Structure formats: C-alpha cells, structure tokens
Amino acid sequence: MNRSAQPEAFRLLETGVAVPFRVVKEEVLPAPDEAEFGMRLTLQLEDSEDPAEDAHDLVEWGALGFLFVLALLSFSDARPRGFSESEYREADELGLADFIDGLAFRRGTLHFHADYLRGRRVKTGITVTAEGSVTIETIGRGKAPLRWIDRLEGEGGLRIVGT
C-alpha cells in the first residue's frame, strides 16, 4: 500500500501490526463439500511484555487497526470463484472505503464482514469485543486464517514499508 495514496489506511496498518495478541482457539468448520471447509480462530488481545496494559486499553487504541490488518490480509489472499473471475484483478487492494463498507458496530462489538469483493471470494467475518476477544470466521477458505496470523507474527514477512 502506498503511503501517499491512502495515508489514513497506512496509519491503520501501522497501528494494527503493533497490537499484541495470542491465539486462543482454532476450529475447522465443516461444510457439505469437504473442500469448502472454513475456520474459526479466537484470539485475545494482550501484551505479555506489559501485563499492566489491560485488554480494554488495547481495544481502545488498536481494535480498528487490527481489524483493518486482518481484513486486508483476507482480501489479499482471496481468489475468484466461478463467475467472479471476470471482475478479479491480481493487483487490487482493499481500500479504506471497502473496509468501512464492511464495518459495523452492534451491541458493543466491532464487526467486519466481506463476502465477494471485486471478484474476490473473501467470505470472512471478524469481530472484536470490548474485552479484547477477536473472532475470525471464514467459509470455504481452508486454513487461510492461519497464514494471516503467521504473517502478523512475523513468519510470513508482513512489515510496514517506507517508514
């Protein structure tokens, strides 16, 4: 993502990659077609290096950025399926407007959901609670969320470029 093209999105990225978390639970979600299984990951925002910072504080300063980073990883990893291939562009990016379109705040919980977006089969829902619990749920994406977490933890080369 180009810093000058979307400075607000870049700030969300900078914040999102700085949010500390741990994986609490991994679940494979079965589907009628074995190849279409999904996943549900439960994360907890917490700072093991600074136990004094509670989850509410982490949510306050980092939830929106963390949600944006996960949405961006999901979008970037998504591929076309069926008729959506005609709209698909390899070099496409999730923009801030796309993110806001999928964003909702319901009953004290921040939600992001995307189904198909410009030819990409995203099929991802992400929630962040005030207590710092994060749930990532995908349909038909296999174990893709595990790759996103690996990238966030530095195992896949996720980094802010140009800083």
| Domain range annotation of the chain | 7-152
Compute the CA torsion angle 12, 13, 18, 20 (nearest 10 deg).
90
pLDDT tens digits for 131-143? 999 999 999 998 9
The model carries a pTM of 0.87
Cβ-contact 15, 161 below 8 angstroms: no
Average pLDDT over residues 78-105: 85
Q: What is the pLDDT of residue 50?
A: 79
